Amino acid sequence: MAPIDDLRAYIAQHSQKETNIAEKHTVAIVGETHEPFLHPAAIRTTASVRLLLELLRNQRYRYFANESFLNAGPVRLGVRDYWRSAVLPPPVDPSITNADNLSDREIEEIGKRVLTRRFQPILDFLRGHPRYILSIGSMIGAGPARDLRLAQHFFEEMEDRKLSPGIPGVLLLGVHHASAVSVNDWATTRMLLEKRGYKCVSICVLTDFEANGQADDAVFPLISNTPVTSIAQVTSVRLTSLVTATPVTVPTDQRLGSLPSPFRSFTFAEGSDKSVAEQFEYIVLQKA
């Protein structure tokens, strides 16, 4: 079969309507492509929130940690006020469409208004089914310092609540921070957690959202150390196009008959040498 046919057959064979994690773990990490503050990509949040609610309904998970909940400042206060008193901050002024000229404090205030509302369904659930909420987000931008700071905030929040690495919980991160292996030159947040004794499993949420020619659910043939001899070797595949009904959860590293998983032959970034199966134990596909 052609590689795309292998993917379609594999997903048909192994997809699940619910997320049943087979691996022993203490941290169920959900990796998302974040919805921007000021530009709509609502399916990204819809898909992440749906999966998070599914996981948190399992009483074994004792906390919810979120990269989007900043560790200090207005966002943390907005989350706390809503969780304790059901008080939402006012919505963002719709005339604000560009954050380039805003100060860090103004951006944090927008974050308070946007993120508290974005995760309102999670906070509503947690108000009725109390768990610890760990605010681990940081204003530090991309690069190794961000992964380090996210991990440090996670460790501090766990220690503040006297939670050991053996206590299970759910953690929401951006996709790169959630990966089991690094696609850069530094350790991911997940890798840093595992160095401290946390046993992690990662689920990547993929939607059919596309902007500027970049699709969230696109994967590319992994062609490391292989000469390119046909267009099929560099043609991306939209994973949501391979299923009719969504959401579905797919383990990435099962066998297809006598063959290894086709997700070992595809990667998320053209030219990357890290396969989908190496990065994430599961993917979730959801269409708008």
pLDDT digits (tens, 9 = 90+) for 225-267: 665 555 555 689 999 999 999 999 999 999 999 999 999 999 9
Nearest C-alpha neighbor of 172 from the set 76, 47, 88: 47
Residue that wins the pLDDT comparison between 163 and 102: 163
Q: Are 37 and 139 in contact (CB under 8 A)?
A: no
Confidence of residue 223 (pLDDT cuts 50, 70, 90): confident
pLDDT value at residue 39: 86
Which pTM was predicted?
Answer: 0.95
For residues 83 and 87, give the distance between their C-alpha atoms in angstroms, rounded to a whole number: 8
Please give the biggest Cα pair distance in the chain.
61
Amino acid at 173: L
pLDDT value at residue 93: 86
Dihedral sign from CA coordinates of 116, 288, 11, 268: negative
pLDDT value at residue 233: 55
Q: What is the 3-state secondary structure (H, E, C) of 9-78?
A: HHHHHHCECCCCCCCCCCEEEEEECCCCCCCCCHHHHHHHHHHHHHHHCCCCCCEEEEEEEECCCHHHHH
Amino acid at 282: Y
CA distance readout (Å), 31 to 54, 161, 206, 257, 258: 15, 24, 9, 29, 30
Angle between helix 120-128 and 42-56 (nearest 10):
20
> Could you give the percent of the chain with pLDDT greater than 90?
84
Residue spans per domain, the chain: 3-286
pLDDT digits (tens, 9 = 90+) for 28-43: 999 999 999 888 899 9
Residue 157 has pLDDT above 90, yes or no: yes
Phi, psi for residue 162 in degrees, rounded to 5? 55, 40
Q: Tokens 């790169």: give the residue.
A: 176
Nearest C-alpha neighbor of 63 from the set 32, 88, 34, 28: 28
pLDDT value at residue 271: 81
